[in-house]
Amino acid sequence: MKIGIAGAGAFGTALAITIGLDGRQVMLWARDPKAVQSMRDTRQSPRLPDVPLPDDVRPTDSLDQLAECDVILLAMPAQAIRGFLADHATGFAGKRLVACCKGIDIETMRGPSQSIEDLVPDAIVATLTGPSFAADIARGLPTALTLACKDETEGAYLQSALSTATLRLYRTTDVTGSELGGALKNVMAIACGACIGAGLGESARAALLTRGFAEMQRLALSNGARPETLMGLSGLGDLALTCTSDLSRNYQFGLSIGRGEEFDPAVTVEGAKTAIAVTKLAKRDGLELPISFVVADLVARNITVEEALRRLLSRPLKEE
């Protein structure tokens, strides 16, 4: 079996490393020919410089080589996936395509798997999501993720194809719940980061995490997700990790907002645009998501952290 990974960022490279170490051939595609040649020469990636690329990982800038693979993982930002597929859909027709990003497209309000279905309608579609950091996966630290696929048979095939000695995949057919859990937890991570960055304390973060989880369930269930999915790795598990770790880019972005500091614009923060997309979804569905709305305004710099706090604390008292 040959596995392709479109996107040689930290997460795509980490997946390539763990799969390659398990003895499977991996084509790791990057857009930049110079970056590909450097990885070939040094057997290292600038995104994960401390972990060498296994012999079975073959960097390439050839989309034809990528399209020869049996399974192709799309390890790119959620906002980039539609553009990539629009340009290259023909080569991926009929393939097993696995979205490895977390977000909601800001223009279409569609999740990654829906974007694949829109642009490559005859592809077999799945999503890989859950609590993980690229560095942990690459270093062989034990990690568990959710593999979501509507087709149970194909889901079982992909679960077997992508699991490794240290990367354990759990299977579900609830693609909607898995994707929304992964997308919405990034919004809550920004909120929790802003809370800690502003010095509001651990108790306030616990409140945001808990009430944020209620918002995640509210939006996901209104879109047809199953409740148990949000209680699993792709919901509660990912939320707990992302809202409490300094390794989370979304949490770090929130910290910078809370501290009034600039944040590196070159770092991808999926939750920033997802927050804006969530507000559109919520308004369409008539849902009240106060934390998500506040995060969208913080990201847009429409309000300060102090104003966000006043808005949340002045809401009417109610039952939990």
Domain boundaries, the chain: 2-173, 182-313
pLDDT category at 320 given cuts 50, 70, 90 is: confident
pLDDT category at 243 given cuts 50, 70, 90 is: very high
Candidate list 2, 34, 150, 185, residue with the active-site label: 185
H helical segments located in the chain: 10-21, 33-42, 63-67, 81-88, 112-119, 134-138, 152-162, 175-197, 202-222, 227-230, 238-242, 249-259, 270-285, 290-299, 305-313
pLDDT category at 23 given cuts 50, 70, 90 is: very high
Task: Classify domain 2-173 at the CATH class level.
Answer: alpha beta
Q: Single out the residue of 42, 43, 1, 47 nearest to residue 24, CA to CA.
A: 1
What digits encode the pLDDT tens for the residues 28-75?
999 999 999 999 999 999 999 999 999 999 999 999 999 999 999 999
Asked whether 229 and 220 are in contact (CB, 8 A), the reply is yes
pLDDT at 317 over 90: no
At residue 186, the pLDDT reads 98
- Work out the percent of the chain whose per-residue pLDDT is above 70: 100
Sheet holding 71-74, edge to edge: 57-60, 25-29, 2-6, 71-74, 96-99, 124-129, 143-148, 167-172
Q: How is domain 182-313 classified at the CATH fold level?
A: N-(1-d-carboxylethyl)-l-norvaline Dehydrogenase; domain 2 (1.10.1040)
pLDDT category at 172 given cuts 50, 70, 90 is: very high
Is there a catalytic annotation at residue 95? Answer: no
Phi and psi at 291, nearest 5°, equal -70, -45
